[in-house]
Amino acid sequence: MAGAITARAPISIGSKRAVATESVLARRVLITITVVFLTIFVLVPLINVFNQAFSKGFEGYWSVFFPPQPPDDATLTFSQKRRLAEGAAQAARTWSSIGLTVAVAAVVLPLNIIFGLAAAWATTKFNFRGRALLTALIDLPFSVSPVVAGLVFVLLLGRNGILGPWATQLVWPDPFSLHWVGFENGVWPLAFGRTHTGVIFTPLAIVLATIFVTFPFVARSLTPLMENQGTDEELAALSLGASGWRTFFKITLPNVKWALLYGVILCLARAFGEFGAVSVVSGHIDVNDTMPLRIEKLWNEYNNQAAFTVASVLAFVAVITLVAKSVVEWKAARDAERTN
């Protein structure tokens, strides 16, 4: 149920009023408990990520991504060569996990934005039977365990799945292998370099599982705001002769831009960090590792420092997410004040 609360439209919790009537002692005790609790449970674990990542110094950190290269004329013993090759292979796997994580997010995000806008438009601008049910269904993934989210796709598209006979034969091109081949073969100059067969245990399954766990974020952050804004402005634009698309792009979209960005931030954070659902459909194959799965593998190989180095990248993304979220909340609150 991650984000069941945060995915609501930005509300500002900044208007703190000093209404305390408690004794100074009680106040101090409660503040101390708050600070100690949050320090032990949030701050120390966060600092620990970076502390462990840099436990072998900056060089150790760097070598997880860029393993040391020997000079060309160096004469190396067999074991040295093997260690260098191992380091290079590990770094290549780490880079592949970063690439896959970013690629999955790049595919999932636009799909979720389109769905979020469509769902918010349908549920807030119109009244129809089953509207409440649709809204409830959009929230459903928040209450499903990530492991179950992965499981359902294995059961649907896996070898013994209901659509298994079709899905395991499916050949699909890798969109990131699209490249220029020129006009020699006809009028279409682009071609795919790679194709995949099957769905489960391929990146496509990772995309599906990630969509399952992330798609409510955009819809949820848009809905309350669009409901509040009603339909007056859109009706005015339409009555002045604007087309539906023009009304959407000139009126609705600018009105909800901060809420949309807020949903995008939450969606991205979850897409980068999803573990359970992705783990179930990845088949533990190296090429299907996203960054969280890579962290697990490194940890299980007792390569703690490398695991924490990859984790530190995700922790850094999380810090950026929080900062971006605060900025968006502040901007949204300012916009709301201005219109009032």
Restricting to residues 80-119, which ones interact with another protein according to CB under 8 A? 111, 114-115, 117-119
Work out whether 285 is an interface residue with another protein (CB under 8 A): no
Q: Binding of another protein at residue 25 (CB under 8 A)?
A: no
Question: Which residues lie across from 191 on neighbouring strands?
Answer: 179
CA dihedral sign of residues 65, 309, 210, 297: positive
* Partners of 178 in beta bridges: 192
What are the distances in angstroms from CA 332 to CA 11, 124, 227, 327, 336?
8, 19, 16, 9, 6
Residue 87 beta carbon to another protein: minimum distance, rounded to whole angstroms: 21
Among 52, 168, 255, 303, indicate the residue that binds another protein (CB under 8 A): 52
Closest separation in Å from C-beta 191 to another protein: 28
Q: Which of residues 212 and 258 has its CB atom nearest to another protein in the complex?
A: 212
| Closer CB to another protein, 169 or 243, in the complex | 243
CA distances from 83 to 88, 89, 92 (A): 9, 10, 14
Q: Which is nearer to another protein, 30 or 89 (by Cβ)? A: 30
Q: Which of 287, 339, 337, 294 is nearest to 314 (CA)?
A: 294
Which residue from 176, 321, 330, 333 is in contact with another protein, where contact means CB under 8 A? 321
Of residues 187-226, those binding another protein (CB under 8 A): 208, 211-212, 215, 226
33 touching another protein, by CB under 8 A: yes
Figure out which of the listed residues 88, 91, 144, 170 binds another protein, where binding follows CB under 8 A: 144
Site for another protein contains 308 (CB under 8 A): yes
* 18 near another protein, rule: CB under 8 A: yes
Pick the binder of another protein from 89, 137, 181, 285 (CB under 8 A). Answer: 137
Instruction: Lay out the site mask for another protein across 148-167 (x = CB under 8 A, - = otherwise).
Output: x--xxxxxx-x-xxxx----
Stretch that binds another protein, among 87-95, 167-175, 296-304, 331-339 (CB under 8 A): 296-304
Q: Among 54, 172, 248, 330, which residue interacts with another protein (rule: CB under 8 A)?
A: 248
| Contacting residue, 35, 76, 89, 253, with another protein by CB under 8 A | 35
Could you identify the residue written with the tokens 């469509």? Answer: 118
Tell me if 138 sits within 8 A of 119, measured CB to CB.
Answer: yes
The reply to whether 333 sits near another protein by the rule CB under 8 A is: no
- How many binding residues for another protein (CB under 8 A)? 116
Compute the least distance from the CB of residue 89 to another protein, in Å.
22
